[in-house]
Amino acid sequence: MGDESIIQSTEKQWLIEVLANKQPKWPMSCDGDNAVHTAVQNGVGALVFQTISEQKLDCPPEVKAELKKAYFTNLMRNANIEQVWKELKVEMEQLQFSYIPLKGIYLSQYIYTDSTLRAMSDIDVLMKPQEADELYLQLLGKGAVSAEPGYQPYSSTTDHHLPGLTYKGVYIELHRGLFPDDANYNLPVDLIWKQAIRHKHTLGIHPHLNLIYLCLHLYYTVKRGGLRIGWLYDFIIYSQSDEFGQCEGDFMQQLHELNCTEPVLGLLYATEDLFAYHFDFIEHGIKGKTIRSVKKRIIYFLNHQGEGGTDYSYEIALERLKNTKGLAAKLAFVKQRILKRDNNSQSTLKRLGTLSIRMLGMLRQKMISFFRF
């Protein structure tokens, strides 16, 4: 993976070299419009604009101008999300609920030096299960719209978050866990709460656990077929933060204890290769089937897929179905995926049709991916 030619897109290779501080010259074969589009699509438009401005990198004026527009578009979108986040915090604190911001909202608000540099599209927050349901009802009362109107609060499910809510134009997911209970790799939610730290007036996941969480979340995103350059770059930014740098303890020991060494190392090794970076807190030279598969997937999806790819999502569904205990529970899992909660026969038939098409696609992808990954 160390060979730069593995990235087939000249525009993506230029973006990666900018972020890797290689101070690249503008490639003659680089398409300016495509470079801007690719930067925005990969969540690094604002970051690339800042980097080429600060380091005075070689870049056509019209490309820099478009990246500047992307920066301010990011600024306005993030400002709206931040406003809703502040309102959400006030609501949770008035109700005396415990909460931990996750992923983008945490990185943007508490880790990146300029919140505009981390593209956001929604708000994810971890809560205690009953409090998550109570807040869900509170937000519905304030005009939020649920992605699943038929959802019954306080119901039992293996899903790790409640149905998404759209509130003031911002999508919100209230989590009661970090991953589905039936996923191969997971982080015990009790451990997350027990080892939570206080950072800049809010609770946060313990830094080692947080990096592991970010890696596992991206592992499942990549397994579905989605990838952003910015999500890989998050690992570098977070590892360079004071929060992570001042953290005591052995990262690798924590990784081994949680039995998720291979997917996490696969992502960190791939990030090192891609950005010519070195994480000094991990062991190097470890080999394994999952590590190899993760690295192959990242290169393939960087070259062939967009951020929201879901062509391989069946792998996660099959993984969860396999891990579900008992025939009755397996049938309930399948029924939940097909019927959802809206009791609408038309939408159920549509989902059955979609499922049939996906099953055929799954067989095709399974045959291809056997040799590809």
Is it true that domain 4-304 has CATH number 3.40.920.10?
no
CB 176 within 8 A of CB 129: yes
- Inform me whether the pLDDT recorded for 2 exceeds 50: no
Between 357 and 127, name the one with better pLDDT: 127
Task: Please check the confidence at residue 156 and state whether its pLDDT lies above 70.
Answer: no
Q: Does residue 213 surpass a pLDDT of 50? A: yes
In a 13 Å sphere around the CA of 296, the CA atoms on its Cβ side amount to: 11
List where CATH 3.30.460.40 sits in the chain: 4-304
pLDDT at position 171 over 60: yes
pLDDT at 261: 97
Side by side, the strands of the sheet bearing 99-102 are: 99-102, 122-127, 170-175, 165-167, 145-146
Give 303-338 as a DSSP string. Answer: HH--TT--TTHHHHHHHHHHHS-SHHHHHHHHHHHH
Amino acid (1-letter code) at residue 200: K
Residue among 17, 8, 5 nearest 276 (CA): 17
Query: Quick one: pLDDT band at residue 73, thresholds 50, 70, 90?
Result: very high
Whole-model pTM?
0.86
Q: CB within 8 A of 129, min separation 6: which ones?
A: 176
Tell me how far CA of residue 361 lies from CA of 119, 265, 301, in angstroms: 32, 30, 17
Gap between the Cα atoms of 256 and 275, Å rounded? 25
Give me the mean pLDDT over the 30-41 stretch.
Answer: 96
Query: What is the per-residue pLDDT across 239-250, written as a single tens digit (0 to 9) for each?
Result: 999 999 999 899
Residues of the chain with pLDDT > 70, as a percent, come to 79
- For residue 1, the model assigns a pLDDT of 41
- Yes or no: say if 266 and 291 are a contact pair by the CB < 8 Å rule: yes
